[in-house]
């Protein structure tokens, strides 16, 4: 889904319906043949009261619409995969022809470009090799170049000279391709993966044009960079985040994310401050952080705030139950609005929400059907601060707690004393230099709350970055890392 500047909504998908709503002057008004499918693209008015534009896209066999993005002038770029030899391509396209024989039942990727009203197919190309391909996501850079990510089983999938990896590794290999906006030229293309199945799911670009790809792999030799958050495959399928330069020549960083169960990164995106978040589904041992909204014992949907160099996680939580987070966005306050699917009747629901009860059941084929859901979490993916104080009151193990973390303006430091003691709490930078002392005195037993606003002893704001809160008592020292995102 994408929104234009007027907040009109653009959707892509797949249908087998002969009566799917298509506007008469659209590019393609011919429905799919019985038993087959076509991709569709829709443009819906911002208040959802009317369909502004719509079209089919496909040939005579099976066509699947997967993802779309908008150019600066609202041209619509779409991608998907097709088994139709007559899928529409345009003259001068990078690859004008289907790469298989019709009876092979193999899929090529397609990338296509429409005008803003879905009346004209401006450019369209095939992409593939001698076996199956699937795409999973598409995005544009500021120059309107097109990036497509997915996986291939083809030993001759097109790669470009000097690419990061020009050899098919095994089974399903990940790929990322970069086209110019006319789809005439493949500017760069690379494979990436290991000895088994590697399946990219999502793509995002940072402000410098570096490419971040999230997905899942069961390749123990999947390429991981030095200093990664997790450099060891944990078992079954692990999630991964893979960062490569805009020319697709150099691996900049890469990490596993997961535990011993099946972990998938479905989506990743940058917020307004350039911070990277990822979402998907994971097992009960997926890595979470101290103040996480939920930490187990069950798995579920996952969302993680990860360092852009992929060397650490700042915040991470499980959204419990049999569910998966599919996509998310950020509101103007930096809160995260997530959408997903669930098979859990006990998914946490807030009072006053539109639908309070789980509806899922079975379809005509007795296949279990779940519910969709929408939720909102704060930027540090944490529990309410009042719950933290209650946990400290009830627990002997929680001595010091930092909230929120990361923080922008003010961080709250909660700590507990079991007996009269001399307490010194100070902030240090990563070089060990003292930034500010917040407490230095004798204190009675109890729970205390103090704050740090990012300033030093001279009341000047410190640079963004990692700091350490050190609590010293006569009995023991405690250290907690703080991520400071700046003051605004």
**392-484 under CATH 3.40.50.300, yes or no:** no
Give yes or no for a contact between 1 and 13, defined as CB atoms under 8 angstroms apart. Answer: no
**Tens-of-pLDDT digits for all 488 residues of the chain?**
898 889 899 999 999 999 999 999 999 999 999 999 999 999 999 888 899 999 999 999 999 999 999 999 999 999 999 999 999 999 999 999 999 987 788 999 999 999 999 999 999 999 999 999 999 999 999 999 999 999 999 999 999 999 999 999 988 999 999 999 999 999 999 999 999 999 999 999 999 999 999 999 999 999 999 999 999 999 889 999 999 999 999 999 999 999 998 999 999 999 887 889 999 999 889 998 877 777 767 788 899 999 999 999 988 988 777 777 888 888 776 778 888 877 776 666 666 655 556 665 544 444 455 667 677 777 777 655 555 555 556 555 557 878 777 888 888 898 988 889 999 999 999 999 999 999 999 999 988 999 999 999 999 999 988 899 999 998 888 888 888 988 76
pTM > 0.85: yes or no: no
Q: Which two tokens stand for residue 336?
A: 């995260």
Phi and psi at residue 47, in whole multiples of 5°? -95, 10
Give yes or no for a contact between 233 and 341, defined as CB atoms under 8 angstroms apart. Answer: no
118: left (phi over 0), alpha (psi -120 to 50) or beta: left
Q: With residue 390 as reference, give the H or E element that holds it.
A: helix 385-394
R_g over Cα of the chain: 25
| Rounded (10°) CA dihedral 55, 61, 65, 71 | -60
Q: CB neighbours of 140 closer than 8 A, spacing ≥ 6?
A: 69, 70, 71, 77, 146, 147
Q: Which residue, 481, 361, 474, 359, is CA-closest to 419?
A: 474
Q: How far is CA 400 from CA 72, 391, 410, in A?
A: 48, 11, 17
Query: What contacts 24+ positions apart, CB below 8 Å, involve 19-26?
Result: 20/56, 21/51, 21/54, 22/54, 22/55, 22/56, 23/51, 23/53, 23/54, 23/55, 23/118, 25/119, 26/53, 26/54, 26/55, 26/56, 26/118, 26/119
Give yes or no for a contact between 140 and 111, defined as CB atoms under 8 angstroms apart. Answer: no
Cα(239)–Cα(229) distance, integer angstroms: 12
**CB atoms near residue 57 (< 10 Å):** 26
CATH class entry, domain 2-377: mainly beta
Cα(283)–Cα(306) distance, integer angstroms: 18
Give yes or no for a contact between 361 and 370, defined as CB atoms under 8 angstroms apart. Answer: no
**CB atoms near residue 114 (< 10 Å):** 26
List the domain boundaries for the chain. 2-377, 392-484
Q: CB neighbours of 22 closer than 8 A, spacing ≥ 6?
A: 28, 29, 31, 40, 54, 55, 56
Q: Which residue, 428, 435, 422, 433, is CA-closest to 469?
A: 428
b/e code 227-263 from CB counts within 10 Å (16+ = b)? ebbbeebbbebbbbbbbbebbbeebebbbbbbbebbb
**Chain segment 154-176, per-residue pLDDT in tens:** 999 999 999 999 999 988 999 99
Q: Which two tokens stand for residue 261?
A: 């169960």
Report whether the peptide linkage leading into residue 297 is cis, meaning its omega lies within 30 degrees of zero. yes
Angle at 194 between CA 190 and CA 197, to 5 degrees: 100
> Three-state SS for 79?
strand
Report whether the peptide linkage leading into residue 261 is cis, meaning its omega lies within 30 degrees of zero. no
Report whether the peptide linkage leading into residue 391 is cis, meaning its omega lies within 30 degrees of zero. no
Mean pLDDT (the chain) is: 89
**CB atoms near residue 439 (< 10 Å):** 16
Q: What is the DSSP string of 258-294?
A: --SS--EEEEEEE-TTS-EEEEEEE-TTS---TTBS-
Give yes or no for a contact between 285 and 295, defined as CB atoms under 8 angstroms apart. Answer: no
Strands 9-15 and 63-70: unpaired
Residue 344 CA to its chain's centroid (Å) = 22
| Number of residues written out for the chain | 488
């Amino acid at each position: 889904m994408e929104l234009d500047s007027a907040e009109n909504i653009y959707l892509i998908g797949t249908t087998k319906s002969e009566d799917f709503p298509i506007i008469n002057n659209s590019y393609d008004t011919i429905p799919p043949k019985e038993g087959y499918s076509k991709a569709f693209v829709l443009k819906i008015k911002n208040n959802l009261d009317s369909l502004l534009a719509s079209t089919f896209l496909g040939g005579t066999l099976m066509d699947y619409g997967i993802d779309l993005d908008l150019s600066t002038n609202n041209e619509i770029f779409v991608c998907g995969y097709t088994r139709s030899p007559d899928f529409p391509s345009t003259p001068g396209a990078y690859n004008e022809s289907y790469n298989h024989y019709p009876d092979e039942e193999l899929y090529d990727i397609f990338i296509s470009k429409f005008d803003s009203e879905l009346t004209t197919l401006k450019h369209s190309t095939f992409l593939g090799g001698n076996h199956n391909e699937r795409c999973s996501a598409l995005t544009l850079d500021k120059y309107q170049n097109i990036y497509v990510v997915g996986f291939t089983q083809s030993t001759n999938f097109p790669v470009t000279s000097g690419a990061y990896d020009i050899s098919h590794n095994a089974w399903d290999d990940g790929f990322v391709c970069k086209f110019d906006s006319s789809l005439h030229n493949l500017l760069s293309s690379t494979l990436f993966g290991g000895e088994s199945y590697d399946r990219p799911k999502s793509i995002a670009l940072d402000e410098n044009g570096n490419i971040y790809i999230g997905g899942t792999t069961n390749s123990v030799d999947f390429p991981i960079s030095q200093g990664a958050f997790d450099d060891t495959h944990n078992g079954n399928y692990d999630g991964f985040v893979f960062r490569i330069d805009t020319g697709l020549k150099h691996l900049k960083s890469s990490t596993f994310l997961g535990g011993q169960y099946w972990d998938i990164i479905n989506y990743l995106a940058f917020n307004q401050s350039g911070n990277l978040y990822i979402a998907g589904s994971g097992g009960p041992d997926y890595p979470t952080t101290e103040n996480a909204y939920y930490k187990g014992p069950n798995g579920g949907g996952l969302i993680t705030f990860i360092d852009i160099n992929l060397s650490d996680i700042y915040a991470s939580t499980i959204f419990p139950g049999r569910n998966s987070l599919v996509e998310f966005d950020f509101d103007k306050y930096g809160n995260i609005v997530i959408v997903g699917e669930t098979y859990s009747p006990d998914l946490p629901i807030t009072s006053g929400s539109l639908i309070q009860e789980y509806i899922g059941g079975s379809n005509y084929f007795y296949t279990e059907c779940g519910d969709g859901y929408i939720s909102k979490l704060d930027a540090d993916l944490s529990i309410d601060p009042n719950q933290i104080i209650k946990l400290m009151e009830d627990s002997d193990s929680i001595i010091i707690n930092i909230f929120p973390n990361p923080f922008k303006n003010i961080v709250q430091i909660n700590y507990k004393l079991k007996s009269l003691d001399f307490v010194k709490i100070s902030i240090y930078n990563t070089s060990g230099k003292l930034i500010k002392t917040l407490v230095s005195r004798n204190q009675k037993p109890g729970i205390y709350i103090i704050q740090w606003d990012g300033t030093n002893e001279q009341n000047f704001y410190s640079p963004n970055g990692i700091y350490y809160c050190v609590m010293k008592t006569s009995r023991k020292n405690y250290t907690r890392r703080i991520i400071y995102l700046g003051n605004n």
